[in-house]
A and B are shown apart, each in its own frame.
Chain A
Amino acid sequence: MPVYFLEIIVVALGLVMLMVDAFVKLEDKRSIAWIGMLGLSVVFLLLFQVKGPENTDAAFWQFYSANDTTALFFKGIAVLTTLIVLVMAVDYSPVVVDQTAKPEKGAHPQSGLGEFFALPMFACAGLMWMASANNLVSIFVSLEAVTITFYILVTYLRRNVGSLEAGVKYLILGALSTGFLVYGFAWLFGITGSMDLAEITTALAKPDINTTAALFAFALILMASAFKVGAAPFHLWIPDVYQGAPTPITAFLSVGSKAAGFIVFLRLATPFLASEPIVGKVTMVLTVVAALTLLFGNFSAIPQKNFKRLLAYSSIAHAGFLMMALASAPDKLVEGSKLTPVTVIAFYLGAYLLMTLLAFLVMSTMRKVQVSEEIDSYRGLAKRSPFLAFALLIAMASLAGIPLTAGFWGKVNVFLLAIQQKEWLLVIVGLIGAGAGFYYYLKIAASMYLSPTEKNDDTSAIAISPLSRVTMIALIVAIIAAGFAPGLIFGLMG
């Protein structure tokens, strides 16, 4: 089966879910999510079965790269993220029903819930397409398919001021970054006379290119990508949007949107990094951006009191580590070495997916019993629900990068790559950042296990739905398994 069938299946599933929502009388609309979850599980298994078509002469293949294992890995990230987001969304659905408009008389009490499950499917298809895009046109279209879907999802709780504000901020800054991106694309097209990434690479490598124009195009594309992945100094929207958006969507943004941003940036930066006349300046700018992101992300996270905001700053910090991997791109790829920016970033994102989604799963389960997302409200969680506390402990340990977790190997790979390229500044800043990370991640663990509970704290046990429990166990096992045998994730990259 050719690779692009997968995107078609995901879009078709989304349409089926919309149709079921509109035309089938359901007692409980949460069953729509089950269609999506089952379908995505099948698509995830199909990922191991697909083979690109033999004949790739047709015009379609200008826009889509076949036979690309990295792309398949990123598609896996997209499908898995969407699957877990749907699991969270089912748990979160009472909040969605409560916070969307009051249904009219005679309408279904859960009206408006169906789209909340269907829209992530379209975003997923966009993310999957983006992984294979090899042309400026298809990169732009898939990126916008994802971004516009996210505008709607972030604003979904339309009776909640926080969600609306987050949506407007995301809309304006997202559209601004789109403006930068297309202007950058226009210049890139002007310099190289092509939309195809392979041809752009050849054209940029010529010694007689206009370096000023090429650097201008790179600056525009860098600004747009920094917005998407949340790299400094374009990270300011992240805390507000993450805090305001519905929790499952925050998780989707922080994993799916970041992974997508990085694969796009990776593809777009590669031609510039391979261009002899400008590579020095490009690497320098990337180094500065990576160092700033590491410092801003890690140090702003320290004083945070809201758990969701803390995870937002943590997501900026992780973007810093990923940028660090990109900034240490070798001038010439070392033959036989596993450590290239592509594999390091893919590994890091794989690990990041597991641990971030685990943290968000715990958070969205907690949201059912208490509205507050302050760190203080996790006080004494170890007594209320030892399982949730343990899951959050594993997630925090992995995010901090404690040995024998997936997150540890992610960071080790980044540092090894940076040391291999002798980027000492980045190594030092990265170590400082990772040190700060230990403090703020473990602060939460300490709050759960060590803080004494106060008189009016709720100490009743917390119910966890079987689906969430199974997903959490799977994520915990995956984090620890990848911690003991990091080769597992590398193996998936082929």
Chain B
Amino acid sequence: MELTLNHFLFVSGILFAIGLSGVLLRRNLIVIFMCLELMLAAANLTLVAFSRFNLQDGQPDYDGHVLLFFIITVAAAEVAVGLAIIVALFRNRETTDVTKINSMKF
């Protein structure tokens, strides 16, 4: 069986769906954060797949790779700031359960 673009899109779609459902269903902030990273990974996989299959003069379209590297860098920055915020919250409230972070009226 030959691997086609659709296989990659299918896998990345599943990855995105797992990430999204994790964000919506899980209660632990750290797990939610991991699921968010999974969503970014899904986007990265999609980008690489499209790059690889949109050949230009026999070469992959490297524009997609450029965006991918920026996504990885930005995700790293986001994790650095995000974990710091979660640690600050934990020091103050001693919980990372999102259902207990409800001091403001919704």
> Could you tell me which residues of chain B, from 1 to 40, have a CB within 8 Å of some CB in chain A?
16, 19-20, 23, 29, 32-33, 36, 39-40
- B57 interfacial by beta-carbon distance below 8 Å: no
Min CB distance, A174 to chain B, in Å?
9
Task: Tell me the complex Cα distance, A422–B17, Å.
Answer: 39
Contact B88 A155 (CB under 8 A): yes
> Could you tell me which residues of chain A, from 103 to 159, have a CB within 8 Å of some CB in chain B?
136-137, 140-141, 144, 148, 151-152, 155, 158-159
- A194 interfacial by beta-carbon distance below 8 Å: yes
Q: Knowing A140-B67, A144-B78 touch, does A164 contact B85 (C-beta < 8 A)? A: yes
A155 partner residues in chain B, CB cutoff 8 A:
85, 88
Task: Tell me the complex Cα distance, A193–B81, Å.
Answer: 33
Contact A175 B104 (CB under 8 A): no
> Could you tell me which residues of chain A, from 284 to 324, have a CB within 8 Å of some CB in chain B?
none
A239 partner residues in chain B, CB cutoff 8 A:
104, 106
Contact A148 B81 (CB under 8 A): yes
Min CB distance, A412 to chain B, in Å?
35
Partner of A240, one of B63, B82, B93, B104: B104
B interface residues, tally (CB under 8 Å): 42
Partner of B70, one of A140, A158, A168, A236: A140
A140 partner residues in chain B, CB cutoff 8 A:
67, 70-71, 74
> Could you tell me which residues of chain B, from 58 to 106, have a CB within 8 Å of some CB in chain A?
61, 63-64, 66-67, 70-71, 74, 77-78, 81-82, 85-86, 88-89, 92-93, 98, 101, 103-104, 106
Task: Tell me the complex Cα distance, A166–B61, Å.
Answer: 41
Contact B101 A148 (CB under 8 A): no
Q: Knowing A161-B92, A164-B93 touch, does A185 contact B67 (C-beta < 8 A)? A: yes
List 14 additional A-B contacts (Cβ < 8 Å) besides A167-B88, A179-B16, A182-B71. A137-B63, A140-B74, A141-B70, A148-B78, A164-B85, A172-B36, A176-B36, A182-B67, A183-B39, A185-B43, A185-B67, A195-B63, A195-B64, A195-B66
- Nearest 5 CB-CB pairings of A with B: A179-B39, A190-B50, A186-B46, A182-B43, A183-B43
Sample (19) of A-B pairs whose CB atoms are under 8 Å apart: A136-B67, A144-B77, A148-B78, A151-B82, A158-B92, A161-B93, A164-B93, A165-B89, A166-B104, A167-B89, A176-B23, A182-B71, A185-B67, A186-B43, A186-B44, A189-B47, A189-B63, A193-B54, A195-B63
